[in-house]
Amino acid sequence: MKISSICLVIILAFICQSVHGQLVSANDLEEIKVTTDLFVVDELHPHPFPSDIKVDCLIPYEDLFGKFGVWLKLTIASSGTLAFDIIPHNKSNDIDFLLFESQSSFLSSVPVRCMLAGPEIYNSYWEQSGCLGLTGMKGINHRSNKGSGCSHGDNYLDELQTSKGESFYLYVNNFNSPEGFTIIFDGTADITDRVVQDLDDFDLVVKPNPTSGPLWAEFDLPYSIENGSFTLLDRSGRFLKEFKFEGLAQGSHSISMDISDLPAGLYIITSSFDSHSESHVIVKN
């Protein structure tokens, strides 16, 4: 009877490992802790996976993964959805990523998100372009995993519901070059410890997007503020211009801006209201 019980425990443990994955050490990851909503990685370096991480969604590309990459560690400061945009500094680069749950100094060997969409060798560039450039996690109905190829419809995965105190390891890989990327976290979860009072709910909308030049920032203020600004950055996080304003009363506001003088491409606009900061990706036609 005791032997049968022991065997049952072993079998159940094996099943749980198979379904949920093992916990593997994160001590050798050399991760970067991210504590800002907008984070720039200028250059990528070889960061191969630890030998005890076996990711099924990488097969048969595991040997190509890790040539140019980086590990980012995220800790959830307030519960909500984890969502982000990854903007490669070279728009023709193929950026992929894996998101792992973390427990203390360990991470699950099975990623909760796996993005591997990318061009097949036989595709022409126009067929590839839908799975190059901008990628990330946003909304729902995108799926939690996407393999290679460009037939998935878009370059995004579903956002993830998270709870305060949870930690994640995000591995970002560039298949093409060591050129870096800018990542913008814009879900309802917060990865910073800053005090933002009530401005987390001020519902900033920047439109139209895409735009030919004119932009309108619409938002609600729960209280009056003395000054604020919108800063425009290029895709690599470099400063381009700033739009300042003063003396905004409590209530709804609409502020006009213009980027007609800039060439077509992807840009980042970051708002600054008191201690609150929020970033959005803007497409200029």
What is the reported pLDDT for 67?
80
Instruction: Please tell me the distance from the alpha carbon of residue 151 to that of residue 122, in angstroms, as a whole number.
Output: 13
* SS (HEC) of 130-194: HHCCCEEECCCCCCCEECCECCCCCCEECCEEECCCCEEEEEEEECCCCEEEEEEECCCCECCCC
Q: Do 250 and 222 contact (CB within 8 A), yes or no?
A: yes
Q: Do 270 and 277 contact (CB within 8 A), yes or no?
A: yes
Question: What pTM value is reported for the model?
Answer: 0.77
Instruction: Please tell me the distance from the alpha carbon of residue 162 to that of residue 178, in angstroms, as a whole number.
Output: 31
CA distances from 265 to 43, 206, 211, 235 (A): 21, 16, 10, 8
Q: Which two tokens stand for residue 249?
A: 């009363």
> Considering only CA atoms, which of 15, 138, 145, 157 is closest in space to residue 83?
138
Q: Which domains does the chain have, with CATH numbers?
A: 21-185 (2.60.120.380), 199-284 (2.60.40.2550)
Q: Do 123 and 150 contact (CB within 8 A), yes or no?
A: yes
> Considering only CA atoms, which of 207, 255, 243, 201 is closest in space to residue 223?
201
What is the reported pLDDT for 233?
93
Instruction: Please tell me the distance from the alpha carbon of residue 137 to that of residue 200, in angstroms, as a whole number.
Output: 20
What is the reported pLDDT for 243?
92
Nearest 5°: CA angle at 76, between 72 and 188?
110
Nearest 5°: CA angle at 56, between 55 and 58?
75
- Label residues 140-159 b or e (16+ Cβ within 10 Å = b): eebeeebebebebeebbbbb
Task: Label residue 255 exposed, middle or buried (CB < 10 Å: 0-12, 13-18, 19+).
Answer: middle
> Considering only CA atoms, which of 172, 94, 163, 98 is closest in space to residue 131?
94
What is the reported pLDDT for 208?
94
pLDDT averaged over consecutive 10-residue blocks of the chain (285 residues)?
Answer: 41 37 66 86 82 72 78 91 94 90 76 83 47 86 82 84 93 91 90 54 83 92 85 91 88 91 92 79 90
Question: Which residues are within 8 A (CB) of 221 and not within 5 positions of it... i.e. 6 or more apart?
Answer: 199, 202, 248, 249, 250, 251, 252, 253, 273
